[in-house]
Structure 1
Amino acid sequence: MTAAPQLSPAPPAPPSSEPLTAAPASAPRRLQLVVVRTPGPPLQEEGLPVRLLVPGRRTPRPTPPPGPRPRLDRPARPAGDAADFGPAWTRRAELPDPQAVGRRLVTLTLEAFAGRRPISQLQSLVSPALFQALSGRRRPRWCTEGTAPLLLSSVRVCEPVDGVAEISAVARRGGRAHAVAARLEGVDGRWRCTALQVG
C-alpha cells in the first residue's frame, strides 16, 4: 500500500516595507461628446434655405431662370475633345449690341419670307429647332403678296436676365404695321435667336 500524501502549511510571506491600505474610491468620470468633422460633400448646398417636406404633399420645385444654364468653370480642353460638346452660355458683357443684331435678324427674316433671299441664310442666326420650324412654316401673306417695300420702323430691346435679350419691332408694308418679336440668347460667344413671332 502507498502512503497517503500529507499537506504541509505554506511558509509565511516575507514582511512588506509598505503598509497595506485600501484603494481609494475613484470619483465618477463624466463623458464628453466630441464632434470630429470628416471630409466629405455637404448634405445640402450651403446658402439655400431649408424646406420642410410634408408627407403626401408635393413640394413645388423652384423655377430656373430663362436662357441656357451656365456651365461650371472647367479647365480648357483640346478642341477635338469629344467630352466637351453642346452650346455654352455666354454672359452679356461678352456679347455685341443686341439691338443691331436684332435689327439684322428681323430684316433678313422678312426678306426671306418675301422670297428675296434663301431661308438658309438664317441658319447661323437662329437655333437648330427654330430653323427647322421656319423652314416648314407657312409664310405670312403680307410678306409674300404685293410689291411694296418692307420697312422696319422701330426696334426695341429688353434684357430681362444676363445673356438674354427680347426684341420687339414694327414692320410696315403698304401702309399697314405688323409686329415682330424675337428672343435672343447668348450662346458660344454670340447672339442666337431661339424664338420668333411675326404678326
Structure 2
Amino acid sequence: MVRPVRTRAVRFVRYRPTPAVHGALALRPSAGPAPRGPGLRLVRPADGEDAEVQAVADAAVRLAVDVLAGTRPPHQLSLVAVPAVCREIVAQLGPRARGARVVPPKVLSTRSQRPAPDVAEAVALVVVAGRVHALALRLEHARGRWRCTALETTAP
C-alpha cells in the first residue's frame, strides 16, 4: 500500500547567515541578466476588494505572531486558520512556561499579493523576543471567507 505524501501546513525555518564573500568574486558580474518571472503586484488599500484581502492578511499576521510569541493562546488562531495549521502550531509550541515574562511582538511591515482570484499570499517582518523574523502566509478564499492554509516563519 502506497501512502500519500503529506505536505506540512506550517514550516519553521532556521535562520543561517550566509558566509561572507571577500575579494573580486563578490564584484564579478554574472554571466547574463537573471531570468525574470512574472511581476509581483502589491495590494493597495484603495483597490476595493483587495482592501479586504489586506485587512484579513494584517489580522492573520497579527494573530499568528501573537500566538508564536506566547501573548495569545494557540486556539485563537482558529479564527483565521484552517485546522491543520492550528494543530501544527500547537504541536510545535508545546507547553509554555507559566509566569514567564513575554515581550509583546511587533509587526514592522506587511505586504500581500493575489496570484489567483481566490488565493492571496502575505509576507511580514516581525519582531519576536527582540529579534527580527520573517513570516509568510497563504490565504485561500472558500465558503465566503479567507483562511490561512499555510504558514512559514523564521520565528522560534
TM bin (shorter chain): 0.5 to 0.7
CA distance in 2 between counterparts of 1:170 and 1:195 reads 17
Cα deviation code 1:74-131 (max 9, x no counterpart): xxxxxxxxxxxxxxxxxxx978611111111111112122222211111131112222
CA contact (8 A) 2:139 2:150 kept: yes
Q: Which has the larger radius of gyration?
A: 1
Q: 1:120 aligns with which of 68, 75, 82?
A: 75
Q: CA deviation at 1:193?
A: 0.5
CA contact (8 A) 2:71 2:102 kept: no
Partner of 1:74: none
User: Greater share of helix residues, 1 or 2?
Assistant: 2
CA contact (8 A) 2:68 2:93 kept: no
Q: CA deviation at 1:171?
A: 0.2
Q: 1:110 aligns with which of 27, 40, 65?
A: 65
CA distance in 1 between counterparts of 2:75 and 2:104 reads 22
CA distance in 2 between counterparts of 1:107 and 1:96 reads 17
Secondary structure in 2 matching 1:126: coil
Say if 2:101 is the partner of 1:157: no
Partner of 1:98: 53
Gaps (5+ residues) in structure 2?
1-47, 95-99
Say if 2:143 is the partner of 1:188: yes
What are the within-5 Å matches in structure 2 for residues 170-181 of structure 1? Answer: 170-173=125-128, 176-181=131-136
Gaps (5+ residues) in structure 1?
1-92, 140-144
CA distance in 1 between counterparts of 2:129 and 2:76 reads 26
Q: TM-score, normalised by structure 1?
A: 0.46
Supply the AA of the counterpart residue of 1:100.
A
RMSD: 2.4
Partner of 1:133: 88
Q: 1:160 to 1:119 in 2, by over 3 A?
A: same
Q: TM-score, normalised by structure 2?
A: 0.57
User: Greater share of strand residues, 1 or 2?
Assistant: 2
Relative contact order, CA 8 A, sep 6+: which one is greater? 2
Paired residues, number: 102
Partner of 2:5: none
Supply the AA of the counterpart residue of 2:79.
S
CA distance in 2 between counterparts of 1:166 and 1:114 reads 22
CA distance in 2 between counterparts of 1:134 and 1:173 reads 16
CA distance in 2 between counterparts of 1:117 and 1:166 reads 23
Q: CA deviation at 1:150?
A: 1.2
Supply the AA of the counterpart residue of 1:132.
R
Percent of aligned pairs with the same residue?
Answer: 37
